[in-house]
A and B are shown apart, each in its own frame.
Chain A
Amino acid sequence: MMDLLKFLTCGSVDDGKSTLIGHMLYDAKLLYTDQRRELELNSRLKSRNGKLDYSLLLDGLMAEREQGITIDVAYRYFSTDARSFIVADAPGHEEYTRNMAVGASFADLAVILVDVARGVQRQTRRHIRICNLMGIRHFVFAINKMDLVHYNKNYFDEVVAEIEKIIAGFQVESSCSIPVSATEGDNITSPSVRMGWYTGKPLLSYLEQVDVSDSRKTEAGFVMPVQRVCRPNSDYRGFQGQIESGSISVSSEVTVLPKGEKARVKAIYRGDTLVETAKAGWPVSISFDREVDVSRGCVLVKDFTGMVSNLFSARLLWMDDEPLIPGKNYLVKLGTKTTPGTVMSVKYKIDINDGTHVPADVIYKNEIADCQISLSERIVMDKFDRCETMGGFILTDRVSNMTSACGVIKHDLRRSDNLVWQETDVDRQMRSAQKGQEPRTLWFTGLSGSGKSALANALEKRLLALGKHTMLLDGDNVRMGLCRNLGFTHQDRIENIRRVAEVSKLMNDAGLIVLTAFISPYAQDRENARAIIGDGFVEIYVSTPLEVCEKRDVKGLYQKARRGEIPNFTGISSSYEPPAKPEIQIDTSKCTLDEAVEEIIKQLGLDV
């Protein structure tokens, strides 16, 4: 038997969901007297006709009270003799879709309000879609405002028929429709005398008894993402995390993914107590019979059905004010692993109300889209339908730190059954060891005329003289070939930098020291490059002031730009975002070229 039910309530502004929950708490005598008193007091002041306004119990933020709407999820707690409940009261308005999704990700069941007079609305479909996307498989439809249709069964039946048609298209395990009146209290906590034709349970009784247990958690193999490594002393090394599915016992053999090493369980702590066997949902600390390389983000498994991959197809809910642009790099957090990743392409967006597929290149806030995502390394994952923890993820913007999107994995694009990555025989480390150098990408950034190219050229010569293996990438050799098909639009510019970064990474893998000289005016693009290239990325900011650059004007470009002949010229009609923390900064107006080169060599530690 289940003892805690986390459920979500959603409905649009006037559907009365706050009223419904408020009424349920009030009728079931689950309020403290001071809460009751405050409700009665506030109702007298604020409600439209002096009647009790149950919604005042739930709308918590000042802005919500002022506007009479729900903006963010509110959590309420109550328990009856049968069960403990946590209610996530979510906003229904399209503008606050992301907040509703927050509530949905938390809940096992959704109570969706439908106004019987208005029938199934666009937003009802949207609510089902978001709930389903976030993993809810159990639904209750509270067909509200029955009092306004004189408790007539025909109206109810019509709405129920419509609902049944809609949910046939979703993954739904249980569904129930209940005719209610939130303001009058019909079928909320006790059967309505005014709707004798309804033979089902009132809402609260249904919620007390509905079974939402997740068989996937107990039947699936053992999965535990490692949160942290616990090392109190040299004798103990434990891996701490929460068991997401299955169970594990002392002396069982487990596999550590992504690498695939195996070890036997030596001891299991549940909190501070030693146990023989541990089950799904428990926080544990597991130690092994031998030394294995395990760190945060690794996953301990037994009979695992998921995959190890760096390329997958996913459904995203975009939540950032900034739109999604394919090619931009984000941080992907899945389980306990955070990895840089890129949305490679958008297949289509899904109309949030009716589910149709619409072609799209850019995805805006509150839109849902199917995408392909590529990660900078192979990680452990599973389909969301099989395991919520290994299949749900968020994307974080690397500059604003905003949680830009959440998503669910549909499938691995390689569809490879081979779980463990075969390391190639000759790797980056061996290639660079052979060249006696540490591969790096020296990313020069600065205004046109700041001296980037001259400096990169001189530095490459110096490195060659030191016996280093190098490659210089600049606008000329890249724009002519690799990026010949790109123009200068915003998206093309992002793609240009992405390609340069990817090529630099390949050359680093080959063991080379790469020098790049691009204006790269935007912090975001440089962050993307840093994410792709990873270790070895060195940002060198050539900070020669604009006046000096313009005075030099080697190619006569500033003059043209000043006459308005070149649109979007960095420094004149388009901005340059100076790096906040460059590894190296050089102002060529304050030193000679040779001095600048020596300074860089010194800072790179190559002067020995």
Chain B
Amino acid sequence: MCWKGLVQIMCAQSYLDELEAEAIYIMREVAAECEKPVMLYSIGKDSSVMLHLAMKAFYPEKPPFPFLHIDTTWKFHEMIEFRDQKAKELGIEMLVYTNEEGVKQGINPFDHGSAYTDIMKTQALRQALDHYQFTAAFGGGRRDEEKSRAKERVFSFRNENHGWDPKNQRPEMWKLYNTRIRSGESMRVFPLSNWTEKDIWQYILREHIDIVPLYFAKERPMIFRDGNWIMVDDERLKLQEGEEIQQKKVRFRTLGCYPLTGAVESEAETLEEIVKETLGEVTSERTSRVIDYEETGSMERRKREGYF
């Protein structure tokens, strides 16, 4: 390897060290100052990085808070397996919450569109936080993901209805986070605020972090619907006229509910190949998340209403 290339790798590493230190500092502040914290765990790559950082932050102690997964019942099966295996392996407390009312009403991503996201994700999250009375919830959100996130504080205050007021955010100076809230109010905390998608992948590579196999390219049963490659993960996905299942070599850049998550065609079977592909990437990752591909401002609107 040439000298310039080596310097670049060394620099990239110390940049990652700085991001790592920042995230660990934030996690320790929450553990020390917030009454009842929880770490949201979505099973995706950002969550995997966050979990890895939490294991480091408190070592040799286990993270002094539980983890929470909001299960819409429409996640990829491989995700659920991965979640349960991780929790067991690391010996952490993994809470799983589903909006049972929504399940009873048969709310699903095919028939209910955006109402599905609202009921099975937004409302479920609010119910879970209220149910356990958590006062602070870590999320894996990053500022490079979306415009309204780019404006959000690391410690993001939520009123008693979990709403965000973007015009009146608390000033956040240096590393002096104001964690004070009244009863009923809460905090969303984003330790990965300053990470980019590339940082996430490079860190996964450097730290050998386990991620769900869906991120790696493999032949999978796929259909092409509304401009996205959707995986047929179980029999609940009904084929529409003209659709047929094809074996395609694909991988996923983000993971969510399988009917709402588009795959990309790829040959990347190893982490190194994924990183290489990502570094040369020409579209941002959110375009493969069907739900976010709406008009500008839709994420901000959802956040004000209590979306994470």
Contact = CB atoms under 8 A, between A and B. Distances in A.
Do A and B associate with each other? yes
A248 to B, nearest CB: 15
A388 B15 contact: no
Interface string B1-26: 00000011001101101101100110
A93 to B, nearest CB: 13
A98 B143 CA distance: 20
A33 B169 CA distance: 31
A169 interface: no
A393 B175 CA distance: 9
Interface residues of B, number: 58
B90 interface: no
Contacts of A35: 284
Interface in B159-203: 166-167, 169-176, 178, 180-182, 193-194, 196, 198
Interface in A482-500: none
Contacts of A105: 172-174
Interface string A361-400: 0000000000000000000000000001100111010000
B88 interface: no
B21 to A, nearest CB: 5
A102 B283 contact: no
A236 interface: yes
A349 B289 CA distance: 51
Size class of the contact patch on chain A: 35 or more
B169 A1 contact: no
B59 A272 contact: yes
B173 A101 contact: yes
A38 interface: yes
B57 to A, nearest CB: 7
B59 A271 contact: yes
Given A32-B281, A32-B283, A102 B15 contact: no
Interface string A528-543: 0000000000000000
Interface in A246-279: 269, 271-272
Main secondary structure of the interface of A (DSSP, over half): mixed
Interface string A96-111: 0011011001100000
B60 A232 contact: yes
B25 A232 contact: no
B8 A81 contact: yes
Interface in B17-57: 17-18, 20-21, 24-25, 28-29, 31-32, 55-57
A296 B143 CA distance: 30
Contact of A271 (B56, B178, B287, B301): B56
Given A3-B14, A389-B175, A271 B57 contact: yes
A230 B61 contact: yes
B167 A63 contact: yes
A278 to B, nearest CB: 11
B296 interface: yes
B171 A272 contact: no
* Most B CB within 10 A of own CB, among A61, A271, A396: A271
Contacts of A403: 170-173, 178
Interface stretch (A70-78, A351-359, A460-468): A70-78
Contact of A34 (B62, B170, B287): B287
B151 interface: yes
A402 interface: yes
B59 A62 contact: no
Given A32-B281, A86-B194, A240-B28, A60 B60 contact: no
Given A402-B170, A403-B171, A74 B24 contact: no
Given A34-B287, A240-B58, A101 B7 contact: no
Interface in B199-220: none
A84 interface: yes
Nearest to A269: B59
Nearest to A106: B174
Interface in A1-29: 1, 3-4
B266 interface: no
B151 A74 contact: yes
Contacts of B242: none
B55 A272 contact: yes
Nearest to B11: A3
B201 to A, nearest CB: 13
9 contacts: A32-B282, A32-B283, A65-B297, A74-B147, A76-B144, A77-B143, A84-B12, A336-B32, A394-B173
Interface of B: 7-8, 11-12, 14-15, 17-18, 20-21, 24-25, 28-29, 31-32, 55-62, 143-144, 147-148, 150-151, 153, 166-167, 169-176, 178, 180-182, 193-194, 196, 198, 281-284, 287, 296-297, 300-301
Given A35-B284, A282-B21, 6 more contacts: A62-B301, A75-B150, A227-B25, A240-B28, A283-B24, A401-B181
